[in-house]
Structure 1
Amino acid sequence: MSQTPEQNPGTVRIVAGESSKPKAGRGLKVGIAVGLALLIGGGAAVASVVAGNNNAAPAAAAPTPAAELRLGYFGNVTHAPALVGVSKGLIAKELGATKLTTQVFNAGPAAIEALNAGAIDATYIGPNPAINSFVKSGGESIRIIAGAAAGGAQLVVKPGISSAAQLKGKTLASPQLGGTQDVALRAWLGKQGYKTSTDGSGDVNINPTENAQTLKLFQDGKIDGAWVPEPWASRLVLQAGGKVLVDEKDLWDKGEFVTTVLIVSKKFADEHPGTVKALLKGHVASVEWLTTAPAAEKASVINAALKDSAGKPLAADVIARSLKNITFTTDPLAGTFQKLLQDGIDAGTTKQADITGIFDLRTLNEITGAKTSAAGLGQD
């Protein structure tokens, strides 16, 4: 990662259909046909005539490695597979001659906008913006090719707030409208009996705000809380005196919910499958490192990557608390996506749709030798 998003947002074959056994006169007939073709239409007609009754379609050009892979991610600890994969050179190593360039975002909707506009080819992102893109494009925009992180999102509020009943009329922040934490917040408030609106009105005011600004607003007493990913939840608690009202893991079966997945443009994947495989190899290596590295080394590497982009590292207690709340995994927890879709519908940020086909985990499973499930929502 080169910079944190909140501070600087912004790799002819014609198959005969006949028996190969020689037939009398066949060579003479083909020779006459070719000669007539040359006289009538020139060389362009030759292939068509030679194909004769074979009815062979022109062969498509073989997929080639991309000259460049443009990768997006966020300056959050929940995106540590990207931070580590880029800073340790694990992704670039697998890409080989394909150039790796990166762009950092504050939240998912902005990353999706860049991907759909062709400004990036792949990105680490929360699940709800990925779902939104898939739905809006009729399944043609993106594919989820791996998981990256689970857990690590909380609603942190002022110390005086101890229950949902005290939130009426309060102002809460989320990273961006339609982002994963924004959807989680709106869906949870709805279950508490509150009405919210995407224009900020309702029983509880939701103010989508960049994470760094959210911290300052909370410290200044201008907002009452925020539903944010790590390290921002830990910063609100340890550096701004907030308290956790909701830990999102408590809302999910077995406490498992996906925070970050790796997606790729469908067009890019179709044109450069080898490059996508190389990206996945680097991603898998990064997740493996994160799951096996000693805690101190892991914190040090992640912090160094954040320092390069933000200009200063996280406090030791912040990164330690953040890492305790996150599980790094290549499993996208596909079984949770129907609930994620429903949460988006309830929040008013997603329309009802069939998301079958959103996953393509075949290459991931080929690399890992595992059988990560797409839960019936794609290929595995």
Structure 2
Amino acid sequence: MSRTPEKPAPGTQPGTTRIVAGETGKPKRKRTLEIALAAGLVLLIGAGAAVASTLSRGPETASAAVADASPAAELRLGYFGNITHAAALVGVNKGFIAKELGQTKLTTQVFNAGPAAIEALNAGAIDATYIGPNPAINSYVKSGGASVSIIAGAASGGAQLVVKPGINSAADLRGKTLASPQLGGTQDVALRAWLGKQGFKTSTDGGGDVAINPTENAQTLKLFQDGKLDGAWLPEPWASRLVLQAGAKVLVDEKDLWDKGEFVTTVLIVNKKFAAEHPATVQALLKGHVESVDWLNAAPAGEKATVLNAALKAAAGSALPADVIDRSLKNIVFTVDPLAGTYKKLLQDGVDAGTTKQADINGIFDLTALNAVAGKKISAQGLGKD
């Protein structure tokens, strides 16, 4: 049968093609059936194109289009080999997260500091990561709110400025060289902001009244032992390692700088597009996360140290002495509350440190899935959904 498209007749839907019989003709009943089949095919193609177009317009629209919210085939999760990331270490090592993910494959990647993890998240190499708050804030600000959501807290406390024994006050730091895990990381921001309040000027290129050299934690320990560093602002267990294994002393415990001693060290964030496409997977991740935090708060000290050491050996290649783990754990509170009320100060610290810019961070939190899983209301303090 020969078919030729005509101009749409009055009342025909835009985007469809009206088919008519050609010169050879066919019985009317058969022609009617062919027309119906062709029209149905066109509508199906059009619907598929509409869904594809919707998915390409961003996570919010994609979420509406993919109404079945099917789990992801794989979740790629980042974390650090630090005691402040114990929720991740335990969740992976004891299988809490994998169990909740079910058929979704869990793959992991270990990072040294936040900016590297954020780079991987934004590049699509991972889907979610445990991280310090400042890199999460910086990513959110740079992307205009499009990159990440903070979906839970993981740890509070556990960061200190440790120095050589001869350094007794802030004034003694002039002309000295300090380290932080990575430029723009949470401890790097804390160090630069604190030095600024002491009247010192610093720069992101290592200049100023006090030189700050962003350095991997393991290398920081060796440089300090070799006398090539005067101190460092570090998360646990690295602060404890410098104190117990290299003779450092604490000049500043960061908890003393915060109201009630509460400051967030580690949060769990997710790529917004991934969260929109796979909310069931995000909720499963949070179930495993909550289980990990609950275990950390309930397990006997000896069992906790054994599990963490096994996880650290798998993640970072070596276990820790018992006294290092014991000191580290005494400095940390494990909590799923991201302490949203501290984020305006964290943002301002980043601005003061020169690692981020002033911005509106309303919307950085999405705690709805966490609150559904945890069974209690954790507030976003007006900075997002709860």
Give TM-score, length-normalised by structure 1: 0.86
User: How do 1:31-180 residues align onto structure 2 when only pairs under 5 Å count?
Assistant: 38=35, 42-45=39-42, 60-61=65-66, 62-180=68-186
Distance 1:224 1:275, change over 3 A: same
Name the structure 1 match of 2:6. Answer: none
Alpha-carbon distance in 2 for matches of 1:334, 1:312: 34
Distance 1:39 1:325, change over 3 A: closer
Equivalent of 1:202, from 194, 203, 208? 208
Matched, 1:224 2:230: yes
Displacement of 1:369 after TM fit? 1.1
Equivalent of 1:265, from 271, 281, 286? 271
Q: Residue 258 of structure 1 aligns to which amino acid in structure 2?
A: V
Residue deviations 1:204-239, cap 9 Å, x none?
Answer: 000000000000000000010000000000000000
Kindly indicate whether the alpha-carbon contact (under 8 Å) linking 1:157 and 1:226 is maintained by their aligned counterparts in 2: yes
Compute the RMSD of aligned alpha carbons: 2.1
How many pairs are equivalent? 341
Residue deviations 1:32-68, cap 9 Å, x none?
Answer: xx9699379733455799xxxxxxx998233211000
For 2:167, what is the secondary structure of its paired residue?
coil
Alpha-carbon distance in 2 for matches of 1:35, 1:245: 86
Alpha-carbon distance in 1 for matches of 2:367, 2:350: 23
Kindly indicate whether the alpha-carbon contact (under 8 Å) linking 1:38 and 1:45 is maintained by their aligned counterparts in 2: no
Q: Runs in 1 of length 4+ with deviation above 4 angstroms?
A: 34-37, 44-49
Alpha-carbon distance in 1 for matches of 2:297, 2:177: 37
Same amino acid, percent of matched pairs: 79
Give TM-score, length-normalised by structure 2: 0.85
Alpha-carbon distance in 1 for matches of 2:36, 2:75: 47
For 2:110, what is the secondary structure of its paired residue?
strand
Alpha-carbon distance in 2 for matches of 1:285, 1:223: 39
Name the structure 2 match of 1:370. Answer: 376
Equivalent of 1:280, from 280, 286, 293? 286
Q: Residue 179 of structure 1 aligns to which amino acid in structure 2?
A: G
Residue deviations 1:55-112, cap 9 Å, x none?
Answer: xx99823321100000000000000000000000000000000000000000000000
Higher alpha-carbon Rg: 2
User: How do 1:186-201 residues align onto structure 2 when only pairs under 5 Å count?
Assistant: 186-201=192-207
Q: Residue 346 of structure 1 aligns to which amino acid in structure 2?
A: D
Distance 1:65 1:39, change over 3 A: closer
Kindly indicate whether the alpha-carbon contact (under 8 Å) linking 1:183 and 1:344 is maintained by their aligned counterparts in 2: yes
Alpha-carbon distance in 1 for matches of 2:43, 2:320: 68
Kindly indicate whether the alpha-carbon contact (under 8 Å) linking 2:110 and 2:315 is maintained by their aligned counterparts in 1: no
Residue deviations 1:322-353, cap 9 Å, x none?
Answer: 00000000000000000000000000001000
For 2:76, what is the secondary structure of its paired residue?
strand
Gaps of 5+ in 1: 1-33, 50-56
Q: Residue 267 of structure 2 aligns to which amino acid in structure 1?
A: V
